[in-house]
Amino acid sequence: MVNQSRYDEADLLRWDALDQVSVGDTRSPFEIDRARIIHSSAFRRLQGKTQIFGVGEGDFYRTRLTHSMEVAQIGKGLALALNAQALLIEAPVNVELIEAACLAHDLGHPPFGHNGEVALQQCMRHAGGFEANAQNLRIVSRLEAKRPGFGLNLTRRTIDSLLKYLQSYSECKARRAGAGAAEAAHVEKCHYDDDAALVAWVREGYGRTHRLLESEVMEWADDIAYSVHDLEDGLHGGLITPEHLKQEHLLERIAAYAEKKGAPGCTVTEVFEHLSRIFAHLRGGSVRRLKEQRKALTSHLIHACVVGTRVVTRDAPAPYHLALAIAPELRRQVAILMGTEYVLMIRHPRVTTLEYKGKRVVTRLFEAHAQPDSGDLLPADIRESWETCRHNEAQRLRVICDYIAGMTDAYALKLYTRMFEPGAGGFLHPN
């Protein structure tokens, strides 16, 4: 059951108030939200979207789907640990709500990882922008086929837990006005202008001042999963090795990236010492023994992050008066791991070459479908949406953006091959 001392009736409302629970359904509203997310097509498609290594590179590496499941598990662990602390004992956070937010946090990610996001941002920079977290809201509130016009029609509190960025696209662009051409490829951290009414409904009576504690838990769980589990992928793939400790220029790049991710003043010495502690857990032996050591390492790192997280109060109205307080040394350690993965994995030619191809695929598909007479290229369901706004360029481009953002890596590659490579595809090979 939902703890009513923390969640009131307004938290459980859905934007489509006519959405009634089936007779005999004993699940809580947040359990229903979690189920709707898991059963959505956007969630299933995460199995075919890149985390870091391309989908199909091996059966060990994470995809967006397995990453989201791990974020949800870490989020659940954080919720259970936080609920034992004094500020939450009487009014605990709802575990199903945390799980729902974590499972949905990456629904809006396009194919081919970060470069796919950058490609769509560039394509949409004059038509309302693109941002993966903003796309999350659009999916759960509009695009998923559950409640006509309302998407999954999640509860107000679940949508608020997904609100990672409180500024609109226009507000972000206004703040960057006059920044120059160097900012053209910048991915705005925002929600779409078209979702202003939804955000206003979610935040009715509170304004846009602070994020929910549940939203902060979701983001911290994401950071933990990204830094720790992607580290395991990098170790397994041989992209992160003790030999890198001898290369000071790499350590300098890691320190510089860690500074941007939450470790101000990070030094080469700090990076060296933290990574040395990481490698100390990997003592070698048989192949199976090394696998066990890597798994023990990830468990150790996640446990440290969970027990080092607290809840504190801040000067804000309920329900935004509680916030996460993460031990500074943990923030720095996670930032160093993020820097390590960025420098040694994401910028590795084995990854960057695939990302380059992915960016080109996304861009060319968008450009072809963005033409005013491109409706015949679209699947029937997308064509229906396209027809309703074919004379409004911004709305038409948004439909195309939604279509491409929802593609898996494999679907995008097959469609690209069919459209642009001579001799590929055929009448009996539907898109």
In the three-class reduction of DSSP (H, G, I as helix; E, B as strand; rest coil), residue 310 is classed as strand
pLDDT of residue 113: 85
Instruction: Tell me the helix, strand and coil percentages in the chain, rounded to 5.
Output: 60, 5, 35
pLDDT of residue 4: 60
Q: Is the pLDDT of residue 59 over 90?
A: no
Across 305-323, average pLDDT: 94
pLDDT of residue 89: 93
Distances (CA, A) of 155 to 5, 203, 414: 17, 12, 37
For residue 236, give the H/E element and its range: helix 213-236
Q: Which range scores top for mean pLDDT: 100-104, 176-180, 240-244?
A: 100-104
Angle between helices 95-104 and 29-38 (to 10 degrees): 20
Q: Would the pTM count as exceeding 0.75?
A: yes
Average pLDDT over all residues of the chain:
91
Rounded to the nearest angstrom, the gap between the alpha carbon of residue 33 and the centroid of all alpha carbons in its chain is 18
d(CA 272, CA 321): 38
Domains and their CATH numbers in the chain: 28-210 (1.10.3210.10), 214-349 (no CATH), 351-420 (no CATH)
d(CA 224, CA 222): 5
Instruction: Among 138-142, 229-233, 420-424, name the one with the lowest average pLDDT.
Output: 420-424
**Half-sphere exposure of residue 204: CA atoms within 13 angstroms, side-chain side:** 11
Pairing mode of beta strands 322-326, 309-313 = antiparallel
**Which residue would you say has higher pLDDT here, 288 or 184?**
288
Binning pLDDT at 50, 70 and 90, where does residue 185 land? very low
Residues whose CB falls within 8 Å of the CB of residue 345, separated by 6 or more in sequence, listed in order: 52, 230, 233, 234, 237, 239, 240, 351
The 3-class secondary structure across 121-135, one letter per residue, is HHHCCCCCCCCHHHH
pLDDT of residue 206: 84
Q: Which pLDDT tens digit goes with each residue over 7-51? A: 999 999 999 998 888 888 999 999 999 999 999 999 999 999 988
Of 91, 107, 317, which is closest to residue 203 (Cα–Cα)? Answer: 317
Phi-psi domain of 207 (left: phi exceeds 0; alpha: psi -120 through 50; beta: other):
left
d(CA 379, CA 399): 12
Residues whose CB falls within 8 Å of the CB of residue 317, separated by 6 or more in sequence, listed in order: 206
pLDDT of residue 178: 61
